[in-house]
Chains A and B, each alone.
Chain A
Amino acid sequence: DTGVSQNPRHKITKRGQNVTFRCDPISEHNRLYWYRQTLGQGPEFLTYFQNEAQLEKSRLLSDRFSAERPKGSFSTLEIQRTEQGDSAMYLCASRPPGGLYEQYFGPGTRLTVT
């Protein structure tokens, strides 16, 4: 399967711990997005990469969140000092180069902070 993959699929952590999630986009897609989704809400934009450059971050994003895409392929999202309010589904999406707007979402990582 050549879709977007995310690991782990589930993560349970204690408040105050750091967590890191990985996203592997579709191979020829140079654009990558991270979103957060809570129950009953639409995906909320977190950050955007074009190749290895992080071009946009949500103004609402806490400094505890950081993302990287070091070689323009896979990406990682780290949350430091997790809080219970960070519990959510973290979705990654990728998009091919060119004018197409369609985003391909991965299955997500569900984070539970206890």
Chain B
Amino acid sequence: GQQVMQIPQYQHVQEGEDFTTYCNSSTTLSNIQWYKQRPGGHPVFLIQLVKSGEVKKQKRLTFQFGEAKKNSSLHITATQTTDVGTYFCAGQGSWKGVVYSGAGSYQLTFGKGTKLSVIP
């Protein structure tokens, strides 16, 4: 079945340092989404990537989708204490002819997340 893996599991950075988390899928994805979950909170949508090689920016956050649509990354420049939380990628499978690569037609498969701590 489809698996989505994220590394690292934890990252501790000094405020002002950069941070990157990586996401790899065992199968080709139709799209990938990124969510942020603050401690004690619920996941909040950040962005969706659909096209091969796509790069999107949101202020200090840069998201990339790999050419093969099997991997993605999130990079935060100059982290701030407000960036603290767990960042999840979530992938949706894709159709290749009559074969579907995902866990289910409507399912998003989430990675285990990268927990970011920022030391002030």
Contact = CB atoms under 8 A, between A and B. Distances in A.
- For this complex, into which size category does the number of interface residues on chain B fall? 20 to 34
Contacts of B92: 101
Interface of B: 4, 31, 33, 35, 41-45, 48, 88, 90, 92, 103-113
A102 B48 contact: yes
Contacts of B42: 91, 105-108
A34 to B, nearest CB: 11
14 contacts: A42-B110, A42-B112, A42-B113, A43-B88, A43-B110, A44-B110, A45-B108, A55-B105, A56-B107, A59-B104, A91-B43, A100-B48, A102-B33, A107-B42
Nearest to A49: B106
Nearest to B86: A42
Interface residues of A, number: 24
A99 B10 CA distance: 33
Nearest to A107: B42
B104 A58 contact: yes
Given A42-B90, A44-B110, A55-B106, A105 B33 contact: no
B65 to A, nearest CB: 13
Interface string A75-105: 0000000000000000101000000111111
A80 to B, nearest CB: 23
B116 to A, nearest CB: 14
A62 interface: no
Given A43-B88, A55-B106, 14 more contacts: A40-B112, A42-B111, A43-B43, A45-B103, A45-B109, A48-B107, A58-B103, A58-B107, A91-B43, A100-B48, A101-B48, A103-B33, A106-B42, A107-B42
Contacts of B31: 101
Nearest to A3: B42
Contacts of A33: 108
Contact of B33 (A56, A91, A101, A107): A101
B51 to A, nearest CB: 13
Contacts of A48: 104, 106-107
A41 interface: yes
A74 B103 CA distance: 25
